[in-house]
């Protein structure tokens, strides 16, 4: 049995700013009410069909593409902290406006703009953690940030589900207030880190992180593995997008009258599993390469999502939610460290926008694609199709691991030394 001291050892010895980010993530996620309930709000309150709901969620994703590009460029030029404070602050303002808006198409547009603001700040968040850490502490830092979010997320959707029925405006306003509280911690305790990127990296083992000149597209052409990786992760994210699209529809269909509340419980369970199991998964994964971890994560996605189309009782829904959540943990602690380890220090902000933008298309087209598919097949059949497609992308990730080992063996060695 692993002792608590051993279990939490990956989170020791980090800069104090990483622990501040951890607390800020908890606070922010405690008020994460809107996004888990978005599908339900669009269908039940605004009255959109499944297909139109998928259309608007996918339209939001298309809006997020230029937002992510802008955020990455700004993070590499004017600084990480400035981008976070400005755009996350505006997202909170738009959520407050949504809270005072009647359920309508106008509300959808306000929420879309708020989401675009948050996406613009996303690359700055990832680059900030990369700037504050080294390869030895990076996996633990991203895992801690991820766990912090899910500690709050174990509570946020449950509260949101309770507020939804009789206090819908508080769903938006509460989300905004906790976001502003989290931003205040960053504003006070986190310094700007962009100057650290002006110093070049000298270690031979970090060859791919050395500064380079040129546009982000020139860098990507020199590192085609990141393009291949983004395409495979697109397939993973297409499946994960159904967690907030098909799953709430299935819950509302199977548990009429209490569906929103049950989905809130499942979303809270997702956060609870992450909170309890992230330290264990991080410790067990220590010494395993990022790519091999992502193969395991894909297998768990294929099993968890695919089996939602086979068994229907609430207890089995929780079981499969546990399965794909463990896969989510593995991917969360592996994806960004993989990108950072293959990215020049001079391009961290932009790479953390472009590559996630590629695989973010899975989130974008997941609702739209399955919204269309569901006009021809049942939700159960849809889940089984998701399981099969995810297994195919997992096999592609296994092939990419071999490609990485042949072309960038130092990355695999670094993983084994952690």
Given this model, what pLDDT does residue 343 score?
92
Give the span between the Cα atoms of 99 and 114, in whole angstroms. Answer: 12
CA 88 – CA 303 distance, rounded (Å): 35
Q: Give the pLDDT confidence score for residue 202 in this predicted structure.
A: 67
Q: Nearest CA to 351 among 361, 365, 341?
A: 341
pLDDT, position 418:
47
DSSP symbols for 274-336: HHHHHHHHHHHHTTS-HHHHHHHHHHHHHHHHHHTTT--SHHHHHHHHHHHHHHHHHHHTTHH
Q: Which residue reads 């130092």 in tokens?
A: 410
Phi-psi group of 133: left, alpha or beta (phi > 0 → left; psi -120 to 50 → alpha; rest → beta): beta
Distance CA 175, CA 178 (A): 6
Q: Rounded CA gap, 6 and 280, in Å? A: 10
What gap in Å lies between CA 163 and CA 368, rounded to an integer? 28
Name every residue whose Cβ is closer than 8 Å to that of residue 106 and which is 6 or more positions away in sequence. Answer: none
Structure tokens at 111: 């929420």
pLDDT for 394: 97
pLDDT single digits (tens) 245-261: 899 888 888 887 777 77
What are residue 84's phi and psi, to 5 degrees?
-60, -50
Residues in CB range of 273: below 8 A, 6 or more apart: 321, 322, 325, 326, 329
Sign of torsion over alpha carbons 314, 320, 323, 325: negative
Domain 16-194+214-417 has CATH 1.20.1250.20: yes
Give Rg (Cα) of the chain.
20
Q: Which of 399, 362, 360 is nearest to 228 (CA)?
A: 399
Under 8 Å between Cβ of 386 and 310: no
Predicted model pTM:
0.79
What integer pLDDT is reported at residue 410 of this predicted model? 59
The reported pLDDT for the residue numbered 245 is 85
What's the sign of the alpha-carbon dihedral 70, 118, 370, 241? positive
| The pLDDT of residue 194 | 86
The mean pLDDT values, 10 residues at a time, for the chain of 418 residues are 68 90 92 81 85 82 86 93 96 94 89 92 92 86 87 81 84 92 95 79 74 88 93 96 88 80 83 84 87 96 94 89 94 92 90 89 85 90 96 97 80 50
């Amino acid at each position: 049995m692993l002792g608590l001291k051993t279990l939490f050892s990956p989170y020791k010895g980090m800069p104090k700013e990483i622990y501040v980010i951890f607390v800020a993530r908890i606070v922010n996620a405690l008020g994460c009410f809107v996004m888990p309930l978005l599908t339900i709000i669009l269908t039940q309150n605004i009255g959109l069909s499944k297909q139109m709901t998928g259309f608007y969620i996918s339209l939001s994703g298309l809006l997020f593409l230029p937002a992510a590009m802008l955020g990455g460029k700004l993070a590499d030029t004017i600084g990480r902290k400035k981008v976070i404070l400005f755009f996350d602050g505006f997202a909170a303002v738009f959520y407050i406006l949504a809270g005072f808006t009647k359920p309508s198409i106008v509300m959808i547009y306000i929420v879309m703009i708020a989401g675009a603001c948050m996406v613009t700040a996303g690359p700055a968040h990832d680059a900030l953690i990369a700037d504050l850490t080294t390869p030895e502490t990076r996996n633990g830092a991203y895992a801690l940030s991820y766990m912090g979010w899910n500690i709050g997320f174990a509570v946020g959707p449950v509260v949101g589900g309770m507020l939804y029925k009789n206090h819908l405006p508080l769903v938006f306003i509460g989300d905004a207030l906790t976001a502003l509280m989290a931003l205040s911690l960053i504003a006070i305790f986190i310094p700007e880190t962009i100057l650290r990127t002006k110093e070049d990296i000298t270690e031979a083992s970090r060859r791919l992180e050395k500064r380079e000149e040129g546009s982000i597209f020139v860098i990507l052409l020199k590192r085609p593995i990141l393009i291949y990786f983004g395409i495979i992760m697109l397939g993973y994210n297409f499946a994960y997008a159904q967690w907030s699209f098909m799953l709430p529809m299935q819950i509302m269909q199977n548990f009429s009258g209490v569906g929103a509340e049950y989905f809130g419980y499942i979303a809270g369970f997702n956060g609870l599993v992450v909170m309890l199991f992230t330290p264990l998964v991080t410790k067990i994964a220590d010494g395993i390469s990022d790519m091999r971890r992502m193969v395991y994560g894909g297998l768990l996605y294929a099993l968890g999502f695919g089996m939602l189309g086979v068994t229907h009782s609430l207890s089995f829904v929780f079981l499969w939610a546990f399965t794909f959540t463990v896969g989510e943990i593995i991917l969360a602690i592996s994806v960004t460290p993989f990108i950072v380890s293959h990215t020049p220090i001079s391009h961290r902000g932009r790479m953390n926008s472009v590559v996630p933008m590629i695989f973010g298309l899975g989130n974008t087209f997941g609702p739209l694609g399955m919204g269309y598919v569901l006009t021809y097949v049942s939700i159960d059949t849809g889940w089984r199709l998701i399981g099969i497609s995810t297994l195919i992308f997992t096999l592609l990730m296994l092939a990419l691991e071999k490609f990485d080992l042949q072309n960038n063996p130092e990355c695999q060695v670094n993983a084994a030394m952690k």
